[in-house]
Amino acid sequence: MTILTERVPGQPAPPETLVDIPALLKSYFNQPATPVEFGTSGHRGSSIKGSFNEAHILAISQAICEYRSAQGISGPLYIGFDTHALSKPAFESALRVLAANGVRIIINKGDEYTPTPVISRLIIKHNLGREKDLADGIVITPSHNGPQDGGFKYNPTHGGPADAEVTNVIQNKANELIKHHLAGVATIDFIAARAKVQELDFIDFYVGELEKVIDFAAIRSANLRLGADPLGGAGVHYWQPIARRYGLNIEVTNPSVDQTFRFMTLDSDSTIRMDCSSKDAMASLISLKDKYDIAFGNDPDFDRHGIVTPDGLMNPNHYLAVAIWYLLQHRPNWPKNLKIGKTAVSSSLIDRIVAGLGRELYEVPVGFKWFVPGLSRGWLAFGGEESAGASFLDQQGAVWTTDKDGFVLALLAAEIMAITKMTPSQIYQKLTAQYGSSYYGRKDGPITDEQKVALVSIRGEALVGQSMAGHKVSSVLTKAPGNQAALGGIKVILDDGSWFAIRPSGTEPKMKIYVESQNGQALWQQIMAEAPKLVFK
């Protein structure tokens, strides 16, 4: 009889609970396909569940080829993949379709892993000043999801995540192709496809570009001890070239790549998830906090960041607030009229800091795609998500990436310390003394189909004036103030400025509940307990 070891958050996964990689890969080629469904950032799923397999990738790739043709996109397509087990076979499947459709494909030299922000930067650099021969890209990654999952996302010519209008076209076409057993999907064998591909050293390109966005001279002069944990992700081979080129003292704390991600400590729900904003998933790096001045972790496609100081792992909202405060005062070439972007479920401390510095806030629903127009057109200085994803303009005020960039947010933490002589967590304490403190947190739970319908159809005005947690509901939002786009859920603001928001996850079958209390943890707990009762009664 097999005795199962208890799964404990913050501790390594018991060996018997690790994903069976051969079974995962076998299912990729053999399992029937469920419909393609794009969430907040591409199509994700698991081959074992039939939600991410070869049929999906062949169909999506063909749909992308037809979308490119319809839009007159004739330039190169940059494509890369991360370290998840399903990413490499999906990459090979995609190449077979792209090559058969005559797409000019550019990949990382030597089939090296490719982080999301690298693809975004490549697209932006190629398209700068062009009106024709525009480039786009594909990133094959399920981001921070566990080792059982695969993901596939398309970045159009602006370099950022495709919006719903684009993904709906691709999704519908892909599902039509799947329905007709892939009739209409052009393919050639992989060896022939690989022979048509152009290679480029993405690492050398991206590392060389970084000096446009980060003050490396300041970091170098401060001689900071920096620790980097790639969490087994696509940026694992980027940190040492960055250190060599810019003369930095960066130690990669764990250079391992393992498709089971067995080196990860379990997340709060006792599963393996490479969430660099989670203290449980980041336990290994947090244990080294006293060894470094600043340390940072990133998720597998490096579009998210986790900042560790000697005080521990920073709450993502706290770091976003510090980053915005710093950037608005240390980027003299940024025009004063630029807006600061945040999601509606990010901390209201950001609102107060932005107002205090005389800038305008731009508040949008969850999803980095909402920041793309502002970043690409240069009227948005910064776009940040509550889930530890952000990007910002380069030092001259020009577009850097239009997708989240975990590298630059990590390196910015080192720049902040080099310039201010304080860690980001110390600056956060000063900011709360000036702008007020709050208690912020999120919990995830199951969601029913009925609850999903209720979130879409709820009449917010019916909640105004009702009491909960000892406070009156003062206002209810179902659309974001910045762009009036639907939140995909509801945000309820109480009379003391505390608030909660509920929305379904765009990547997992979960309900996400966000709460920020302006009066301590006890009120936070009370709001968290009463929020679902108020909304779903």
Q: Which three-class secondary structure state does DSSP give residue 239?
A: helix
18-22 own/partner pairs: CB under 8 Å, 24+ apart:
18/147, 18/260, 18/262, 18/272, 19/85, 19/146, 19/147, 19/148, 19/259, 19/260, 19/272, 21/85, 21/147, 21/259, 21/260
| Whole-number Å distance between alpha carbons of 64 and 241 | 33
- Beta-carbon contacts of 537 under 8 Å, excluding residues fewer than 6 positions away, are none
Give the residues across from 294 on adjacent strands.
226
Give the residues across from 492 on adjacent strands.
476, 500
Q: Indicate the DSSP class of residue 392.
A: E
Q: Is the CB of residue 59 less than 8 Å from the CB of residue 178?
A: yes
- Residue 184 backbone class (left: φ over 0; alpha: ψ -120 to 50; beta: rest): left
The residue assigned the tokens 């300041």 is 218
Q: Which three-class secondary structure state does DSSP give residue 447?
A: coil
Q: Which three-class secondary structure state does DSSP give residue 327?
A: helix
Q: How many CB atoms lie within 10 A of CB 1?
A: 2
Q: Is the CB of residue 446 less than 8 Å from the CB of residue 510?
A: yes
| Whole-number Å distance between alpha carbons of 497 and 33 | 46
**Residue (of 297, 57, 60, 265) closest to 166 by Cα position:** 60
Strand (E) or helix (H) holding 451: helix 449-457
486-492 own/partner pairs: CB under 8 Å, 24+ apart:
486/365, 487/344, 487/365, 487/366, 488/365, 488/366, 488/455, 488/456, 489/455, 490/455, 490/458, 490/460, 490/535, 491/344, 491/345, 492/460, 492/463, 492/531, 492/534, 492/535
- CA-CA distances (angstroms) from residue 412 to 322, 404, 422? 10, 14, 13
Report the catalytic residues. Answer: 143
